[in-house]
Homo-oligomer: A and B are copies of this chain.
Amino acid sequence: MAAQQGYFNQYQHADIDELADAIGELLNNPITIEDVDHKLIAYSSHGESTDQARWSTIMGRRVPERVLTRLWKDGVFQQLWTQDDPVHVPAKDEVGLGNRVAIAIRKGNDVLGYIWAQEVNRPFTPEDDEILRQAARVAVPRLLERQGKRRAEEQRRKEFFWELLLGNDTSEAVLKRKQKSLQLDLPSPFVICIIESPEPRLEQFLYPLLQRDKMLWVTDGTQVIILVGVPPAAASEGVTLRQYVEHFLGETAGKLKERFREEQTIGVYGRAYHSLPDVARSYREALQVLQVKHSFPAETGNVRGYSELGIYRFLPQLKRWADAEGYENERLLLLKQYDEENQTNLLQTLETFLDTVGRVNLTAQKLHIHINTLSYRLRRIEEIIEVDLDDANMRTSLYLDLKMAKIGRELGS
């Protein structure tokens, strides 16, 4: 063990650039060290030929956006964040990336940065992995020191974000002052987005994505709460906030499913706002969506935004109100009773009809019955419950009472 850890014994107190050179010499390949934001910290100076990606990184003092996007899509960062071992990345010529291996520099669960090695002068050997593991450990104090200030600031930002989310009646002026002192630019419009999952490694999994887009986010265990705006690049292409958020959530959900076979992850978001005090409002809306999706999983299956909730925005409340005054829709009771007494399906027929906004063809298909059967049933329904299905008011209230009745049934079963 002591022998194996010996590669960098003499570099315990060395400069980070010296460490990069030392690794580079041991591997006989070019080395780059980045922090968690992919800003360049150090690089080995001996290497001759470097690929396009490395060149751009050094010149721009940061890994180019398109490279990051590609690596994110391929799940490289997910691997880096969830495993201690080096990750081997095959060449990606499209983004000018040759074969390379990377390892995360971590302290506990936090990732402080990455060490990248390129396969240029000689092929990687299994021994190189151990060298990188040791290098990552040795680099820790250097990165901690370097990032101390940055982390403290991030901490303050997160605290401020929580303050905004909980909306403690702080005046807008005070909030704006704080915002300025933290150099936090609020995208406008923005939404608050919540990703909830029982997966314990959720945060680690999302971390690189959140870091990549420099989003403001916090977590409270099962939920990751994110403030999302349209990045300038997407905005210039005319992408709306709703499209962006939907894409963002689709991306995460897809990734999560493919990695953890996790179906229980739910991404939701509130409405779009512009001002600081509305962060709390958008957050509350997102929470409400989450709650409704738990109560009506089938009905709100592909709903993620508060604006898409429709009647489910107020249905639970309305149901409580109706229950309190003992209201029951007589017509629906009558129809249910008729169904029971005559072994018919008029209630289901009505519901399907209303669900398809009165499209008889569709309704008949869904129910697997002849269209004339449907038209006969609809006539019977109108007769039995004395209702005119061509009356918008009646249709609407039947629809609502039907969906409300389902709440009771779901909770009751």
Contact = CB atoms under 8 A, between A and B. Distances in A.
A392 interface: yes
**Among A354, A391, A393: residue with most chain B CB under 10 A:** A393
Contacts of A140: none
Contact of A311 (B242, B299, B359, B393): B393
A273 to B, nearest CB: 11
The main secondary structure of chain A at its interface with chain B is: helix
A354 B317 contact: no
A394 B307 CA distance: 10
Contacts of A358: 357-358
A67 interface: no
Nearest to A351: B392
Residue from A242, A309, A396 whose CB has the most chain B CB atoms within 10 Å:
A396
A354 B358 CA distance: 12
A206 B76 CA distance: 86
B318 A386 contact: no
Contacts of A310: 391, 393-394, 396-397
A300 to B, nearest CB: 9
A97 B105 CA distance: 111
Contact of A390 (B330, B357, B392, B395): B357
Interface string A308-341: 0111111001100110000100110000000000
Nearest to A397: B310
A251 B242 CA distance: 57
